[in-house]
Chain A
Amino acid sequence: MFYGTDLTSRLMLGTAQYPSPAVLAEAIAASGTQVITVSLRREGPGGAGFRDLVAASGCRVLPNTAGCHSVSEAVTTARMAREVFATDWIKLEVIGHADTLQPDPFATVEAARILCDEGFEVFPYTTDDLIVGEKLIEAGCRVLMPWGAPIGSGQGLSDVGALRRMRAHFDGVPLVIDAGLGAPSEAARAMELGFDAVLLNTAVARAGDPVAMARAFGQAVAAGRAAHGAGLMEPRDMAAPSTPVFGLAVL
């Protein structure tokens, strides 16, 4: 449950960098996603034409504060997003470094506190740091969005150990892997680890065929989630034949 909303599809899609709004609409449909993120910072109030096309998808919109580098920018953008999209949901992104797009954890926590106090339902983009995660929960967040790898890098889950610890530590808190995924197998892996959803953009938008890639990610996320629910076997050091070998003739 994400702030009281249950989602059947656990894939969230970004809407930037597609060849056209028409391709984006097809990709959304093919992926089966129910939640799309839309940025506001750069397009501003003049982006209504694009937003109308996005709204026509029927998906729930998770506005984001992409491109914000300070608490005040992020808070202002969030308030504007609330007006424009008529939703309390906000994906909070406060970037600490323009080149790596690494989140600024201090500013993110501060902005999260302000926004939660104003009744926003905040989805904070964060690292896999447990203490930062705790501070965000303390600030009022009821979802966390740790990165898999730096935004747009396509490196997948670059620190699986840290993500496992995060999953174990925040038992019961919805965790969404946000950013860095390149291949559907990585999305499936995130779901197998017990994460509640994945959010991605570049891997689909910039694929040779974004619609086919969106479908592939949708299937991978569904498969990973089903596998987690079914209970994965633990890896073993020795081979363990699935049929008994005892008594076979030795030739």
Chain B
Amino acid sequence: MTSAADFPPDFPPDFSVLGAGVAGLCTATALAERGARVELIDTDPAPRGASWYAGGMLAPFCEGEAAPEAVVQAGQLACDWWAARVPGVARRGTLVVAPPRDRAELDRYARATRAHERVDPGALEPALAGRFATGLHFPTEAHLDPRAARRALADRLRGLGAALHFGAATEPRGRIVDCRGLAARDRLPDLRAVRGEMLIVEAPDVTLTRPVRLLHPRFPCYVVPRADHRFMIGATMVESDLTGPVTARAMMELLSAAYTLHPAFAEAQVIETGAGLRPALPDNLPRVIERGDRVFVAGLHRHGFLMSPHLAETAAAILTKENAHADPA
């Protein structure tokens, strides 16, 4: 799939963004919005990458449980950034619950995070009434459907005059901005894979309106509502770069967690299973890296939709400033 728009041979693009996952789409968008001439290149005719399997939670405060403060800070930009560009950003917060015997996990989570309040889970999500005595609500957080958001952002890019080259071997003609995810390991040897496995189920008997995280000492999980009673259940974190389908263990753990959240998930139909490889740097902190003649937006780890807006704006600011110096006209 190559968009009709292309730049003529005698007037090439300023920037060639490699990789049309969430990082590439956001970075191309930030550049195009600054008036740059941008092409977005992906060798896959239907680009997927790790963000294809994402939960789509814009939850900087929840992520702060394990992520560095930089993610909590930068991630707070994500909600407004996405809402200004794509439809379907639901600002309904995040609900965190724990089974009664794992109450200590909830207390620990509350200590490790901020911007939350104690709630009766059933008051927020009637489907959970009577199942959990107490929960944490992070009211400023949001979620979106990652695949729909990616499609909307790609359409928007075309509208901004960017050229999208998917599938064909396209020689980049502008300054290279490398957003290839794990594939950038060939130039960033510090990158490693953290495998994540997820499921999408259709559960007509369950209604949830916001992402719910279930804390469990061994397999924490989250359930993100999508349209039409579909739910994304994620996600494992395995220090492995094995590709291939979801394992039976992962499926059992994810489903048993979903079942703990609501028994009606036992009757759900499993629509899809998926496994992706998250690109991660040793400190798991996503960042913009300038190395050689390339600028990388790298190591998004589990923060693709949360951190791409901030990194995209950072990279675009660096690149367009350079460009202005190179071409004062």
Chain A at the B interface: SS class: helix
Knowing A20-B284, A53-B282, the reply to whether A42 touches B238 (Cβ < 8 A) is: yes
- Which A18-41 residues have C-beta < 8 A from chain B? 19-23, 25
Task: Tell me which residues across on chain B come within 8 A of A19, comparing CB atoms.
Answer: 66-68, 284
Knowing A19-B284, A53-B282, the reply to whether A46 touches B112 (Cβ < 8 A) is: no
User: Which of the segments B17-25, B161-169, B239-247, B259-267 contacts the partner chain?
Assistant: B239-247
Contact A46 B282 (CB under 8 A): no
Closest to A208 in B: B112
Distance in Å from the Cβ of A116 to the closest Cβ of chain B? 29
Distance in Å from the Cβ of A154 to the closest Cβ of chain B? 8
Chain B at the A interface: SS class: loop
Contact B217 A43 (CB under 8 A): no
Contact B285 A20 (CB under 8 A): yes
- Whether a CB of chain B sits under 8 angstroms from the CB of A44 is yes
Task: Tell me which residues across on chain B come within 8 A of A20, comparing CB atoms.
Answer: 68, 280, 282-285
Q: Mark B267-296, 1 if CB is under 8 A from A, else 0.
A: 000000000000010111100000000000
Contact A22 B241 (CB under 8 A): no
Knowing A46-B193, A206-B108, the reply to whether A22 touches B239 (Cβ < 8 A) is: no
Contact for A46 among B108, B195, B280, B283, CB less than 8 A: B195
Contact B242 A46 (CB under 8 A): yes
Contact B284 A43 (CB under 8 A): no
Contact A50 B283 (CB under 8 A): no
Task: Tell me which residues across on chain B come within 8 A of A206, comparing CB atoms.
Answer: 108
- Whether a CB of chain B sits under 8 angstroms from the CB of A152 is yes
Complex Cα gap A53–B217 (Å): 25
Contact A49 B192 (CB under 8 A): yes
- Whether a CB of chain B sits under 8 angstroms from the CB of A172 is no
Chain B: how many interface residues by the 8 Å CB criterion? 23
- Which B215-238 residues have C-beta < 8 A from chain A? 217-218, 238
Contact B282 A44 (CB under 8 A): no
- Which B139-171 residues have C-beta < 8 A from chain A? none
- Whether a CB of chain A sits under 8 angstroms from the CB of B111 is yes
- Whether a CB of chain B sits under 8 angstroms from the CB of A45 is yes
Complex Cα gap A208–B280 (Å): 22
Distance in Å from the Cβ of A21 to the closest Cβ of chain B? 5
Contact B68 A43 (CB under 8 A): no
Complex Cα gap A46–B241 (Å): 5
Complex Cα gap A152–B193 (Å): 26
Chain A: how many interface residues by the 8 Å CB criterion? 19
Complex Cα gap A25–B238 (Å): 18
Task: Tell me which residues across on chain A come within 8 A of B193, comparing CB atoms.
Answer: 46, 49
Distance in Å from the Cβ of B226 to the closest Cβ of chain A? 28
Complex Cα gap A19–B280 (Å): 12
Contact B238 A43 (CB under 8 A): yes
Q: Mark A126-157, 1 if CB is under 8 A from B, else 0.
A: 00000000000000000000000000100000
Contact B108 A47 (CB under 8 A): no
- Whether a CB of chain B sits under 8 angstroms from the CB of A48 is yes
Contact A50 B285 (CB under 8 A): no
Knowing A19-B66, A22-B282, A23-B283, the reply to whether A50 touches B108 (Cβ < 8 A) is: no
Distance in Å from the Cβ of A99 to the closest Cβ of chain B? 9
Distance in Å from the Cβ of A43 to the closest Cβ of chain B? 5
Task: Tell me which residues across on chain A come within 8 A of B285, comparing CB atoms.
Answer: 20
Contact A46 B217 (CB under 8 A): no
Complex Cα gap A45–B244 (Å): 13
Complex Cα gap A174–B217 (Å): 30
Task: Tell me which residues across on chain A come within 8 A of B217, comparing CB atoms.
Answer: 152
Contact A49 B283 (CB under 8 A): no
Complex Cα gap A25–B240 (Å): 18
Contact for A48 among B111, B238, B241, B283, CB less than 8 A: B241
Best-buried of A45, A50, A152 by chain B (most CB within 10 Å):
A50
Closest to B185 in A: A49
Complex Cα gap A208–B282 (Å): 19
Contact B238 A21 (CB under 8 A): no
Distance in Å from the Cβ of A13 to the closest Cβ of chain B? 16
Complex Cα gap A21–B280 (Å): 10
Contact A43 B282 (CB under 8 A): no
Task: Tell me which residues across on chain B come within 8 A of A48, comparing CB atoms.
Answer: 241
Task: Tell me which residues across on chain A come within 8 A of B280, comparing CB atoms.
Answer: 20
* Contacts from A to B (Cβ < 8 Å): 19-23, 25, 42-50, 53, 152, 206, 208
- List 5 tightest A-B contacts by C-beta distance, closest first: A49-B192, A46-B242, A46-B240, A22-B283, A50-B239
Q: A21-B192, A43-B240, A48-B241 are in contact. List 12 more A-B contacts (CB 8 A).
A: A19-B67, A20-B285, A21-B284, A22-B282, A22-B283, A22-B284, A23-B283, A42-B238, A42-B240, A46-B195, A49-B193, A50-B192
